[in-house]
Amino acid sequence: MAQRLLSFSSRGNQMLAIPRRYGHFVFGVIQSGLTCAIAAAIASFPFIGAGGFIRNWLLSWLISWMTMLPLVLVAAPAIRSLSIRLTREEPAN
Give 49-73 pLDDT, tens digit per residue: 877 888 889 999 999 999 988 888 8
Tell me: the pLDDT tens digits for 10-51?
666 666 788 888 888 888 888 889 999 999 988 888 888 877
Rounded Cα distance, 9 and 38, in Å:
30
Phi-psi region of 91 (alpha: psi -120 to 50; beta: other; left: phi over 0): beta
Q: How high is the pLDDT of residue 5?
A: 61
DSSP letter assigned to residue 93: -
Helix (H, G, I), strand (E, B) or coil at 6: strand
pLDDT value for 1: 55
Strands (E), 1-93: 6-8, 14-16
Domain map of the chain by residue range? 38-73
Closest listed residue to residue 69, CA positions, set 23, 38, 26, 13: 26
In this predicted structure, what is the pLDDT of residue 9? 58
Tell me the C-alpha distance between 66 and 75, whole Å.
Answer: 15
Can you give the pLDDT at residue 2? 55
